[in-house]
Amino acid sequence: MSANIIAIANQKGGVGKTTTTTNLGTALSQLGYKVLLVDCDPQGSLTASLGCRLNENSITLANIIRQVIMREPIPDNPIVRHENENVDFVAADISLAGIETTLINVSVDREYILKDFLDTIKDRYDFILLDCMPSLGMLTVNALVAASTVLIPVQASFLSAKGLEQLLATIGKIKKRLNPSLQISGILMTMVDSRTNNAKDIICGIRQAFGQHLKLFDTSIPRSVRAEESPAAGLSIHAYDPDGKVASGYMNLAREVTA
Q: pLDDT per position in the chain (259 positions), as tens? A: 679 999 999 988 888 999 999 999 999 999 999 999 999 999 999 999 999 888 888 899 999 999 999 888 887 778 888 988 999 999 999 999 998 888 888 878 899 999 999 999 999 999 999 999 988 889 999 999 999 999 999 987 766 666 788 889 899 999 999 999 999 999 999 988 877 777 778 888 888 877 778 899 999 999 889 988 999 999 999 999 999 999 999 999 999 999 8
Helices (H), 96-244: 96-104, 113-119, 138-146, 158-162, 164-177, 197-210, 225-229, 237-240
Helix (H, G, I), strand (E, B) or coil at 155: strand
* Cβ 18 vs Cβ 70: under 8 Å: no
pTM, to two decimals: 0.94
Gap between the Cα atoms of 212 and 199, Å rounded: 20
CATH of the domain at 214: 3.40.50.300
Domain that holds residue 248: 4-258
Residues pairing with 153 in the sheet:
188
Q: CA 147, CA 130: separation in Å to the nearest integer?
A: 8
Number of domains in the chain: 1
